Amino acid sequence: MKQVLQSLKTGVTELTEIPSPRCHPGHLLIRSSSSLVSAGTERMLVEFGKANLLDKARQQPEKVRMVLDKVKTDGLMPTLEAVRNKLDQPLPMGYCNVGKVLEVGRGVTGFSVGDRVASNGKHAEIVCVPKNLCAKVPDCVSDEAAAFTVIGAIGLQGIRLIQPTLGEAVVVTGLGLIGLMTVQLLKAHGCRVLGLDYDTSKLALAQKLGADTVDLNQSADPLGAAMAFSRGRGVDAVIITASTKSNEPVHQAAQMCRKRGRIVLVGVTGLELSRADFYEKELSFQVSCSYGPGRYDSAYEDNGQDYPIGYVRWTEQRNFEAVLDMLADNRLKTDVLVSHHIPFDQATTAYDIISSGAPSLGIILRYPEPDPFSDSRLLRRTISRSEEVLEGDRSASTVVVGCIGAGNYATQVLLPAFQRTGVDFRLVASSTGVSAAHAGSKFGFSEITSDGRSVIESPDINTIVIATRHDSHAALAGEALKGGKHVFVEKPLALTREELVKLCENYDECIRREVSPPLLMVGFNRRFAPQVQRMKQLLNGVTEPKTLVMTVNAGHIPRDHWTQDRLIGGGRIIGEGCHFVDLLRFLAASPIVGVQATSAGEDSVTATLRFADGSIGTVHYFSNGHKSFPKEQLEVFCGGKVLQLDNFRRLRGYGWSGFRKMDLWSQDKGQRACVAAFADAIRRGTSSPIPWNELVEVTHVTFDIMDVLT
For 324-382, write each residue's pLDDT tens digit: 999 999 999 999 999 999 999 999 999 999 888 788 899 999 999 887 666 667 888 89
| pLDDT of 644 higher than 90 | yes
**Edge-first strand listing for the sheet containing 520-522:** 382-384, 447-449, 424-429, 400-404, 463-466, 486-489, 520-522
Domain 382-521: state its class: alpha beta
By C-alpha distance, which of 148, 188, 207 is closest to 335?
148
CA 184 remoteness from chain centre: 34
| Rounded Cα distance, 648 and 666, in Å | 8
User: Span 2-146+334-366: which CATH code?
Assistant: 3.90.180.10
For 395-404, write each residue's pLDDT tens digit: 556 899 999 9
For 21-34, write each residue's pLDDT tens digit: 999 999 999 999 99
Residues 6 or more apart from 149 whose CB is under 8 A from it? 96, 98, 118, 135, 137, 320, 323, 324, 327
For 223-267, write each residue's pLDDT tens digit: 999 999 999 999 999 999 998 889 999 999 999 999 999 999 999
The reported pLDDT for the residue numbered 327 is 97
Specify the pairing of strand 192-197 against strand 362-366.
unpaired
The domain 525-709 belongs to what CATH superfamily?
Answer: Dihydrodipicolinate Reductase; domain 2 (3.30.360.10)
The reported pLDDT for the residue numbered 693 is 95
The reported pLDDT for the residue numbered 49 is 63
| pLDDT of 473 higher than 80 | yes
Report, in angstroms and rounded to the nearest whole number, the Rg of the chain calculated over CA atoms: 29
CA 120 remoteness from chain centre: 16
Give residue 394's pLDDT band: very low, low, confident or very high (50, 70, 90): very low
Q: Are 146 and 324 contacting, i.e. CB atoms less than 8 angstroms apart?
A: yes
The reported pLDDT for the residue numbered 560 is 83
**Edge-first strand listing for the sheet containing 650-654:** 592-599, 605-611, 616-622, 547-553, 632-638, 641-646, 650-654, 661-663
Domain boundaries, the chain: 2-146+334-366, 151-287, 382-521, 525-709
Identical fold for domains 2-146+334-366 and 382-521, yes or no, is no
Task: Output phi, psi for 87, to 5 deg.
Answer: -70, -20
Task: Output phi, psi for 466, to 5 deg.
Answer: -110, 115
| Rounded Cα distance, 478 and 485, in Å | 10
Element (H, E) at 624: none
| pLDDT of 92 higher than 80 | yes
The reported pLDDT for the residue numbered 388 is 47
| Rounded Cα distance, 519 and 525, in Å | 16
| pLDDT of 392 higher than 50 | no
| pLDDT of 386 higher than 60 | no
| pLDDT of 80 higher than 70 | no
Question: What own/partner pairs with CB < 8 Å and gap ≥ 24 does 459-463 have?
Answer: 460/400, 460/426, 461/400, 461/401, 461/402, 461/426, 461/427, 461/485, 462/398, 462/399, 462/400, 462/486, 462/682, 463/399, 463/400, 463/401, 463/402, 463/423, 463/487, 463/488, 463/682
Three-state DSSP state, 466: strand
Give residue 609's pLDDT band: very low, low, confident or very high (50, 70, 90): very high
Neighbours of 446 (CB within 10 A): 22
Q: What is the DSSP string of 201-257?
A: HHHHHHHHTT-EEEEGGGT--HHHHHHHHTTTS-EEEEEE--B-S-SHHHHHHHHHE
Residues 6 or more apart from 202 whose CB is under 8 A from it? 175, 176, 179, 180, 361
Percent of the chain with pLDDT over 70: 91
Task: Output phi, psi for 344, to 5 deg.
Answer: -60, -30
Percent of the chain with pLDDT over 90: 76
The domain 151-287 belongs to what CATH superfamily?
Answer: NAD(P)-binding Rossmann-like Domain (3.40.50.720)
Give residue 53's pLDDT band: very low, low, confident or very high (50, 70, 90): low
Q: Considering only 148-157, 451-460, 596-605, which range has the smallest mean pLDDT?
A: 596-605
Residues 6 or more apart from 203 whose CB is under 8 A from it? 175, 195, 197, 213, 214, 215
By C-alpha distance, which of 148, 110, 151 is closest to 131?
110
By C-alpha distance, which of 149, 186, 147 is closest to 169?
186
Q: Considering only 142-151, 577-586, 593-602, which range has the smallest mean pLDDT?
A: 593-602
Q: Where are the alpha helices (DSSP H) in 425-520?
A: 434-443, 452-457, 473-482, 497-513
The reported pLDDT for the residue numbered 356 is 83
Give residue 12's pLDDT band: very low, low, confident or very high (50, 70, 90): confident
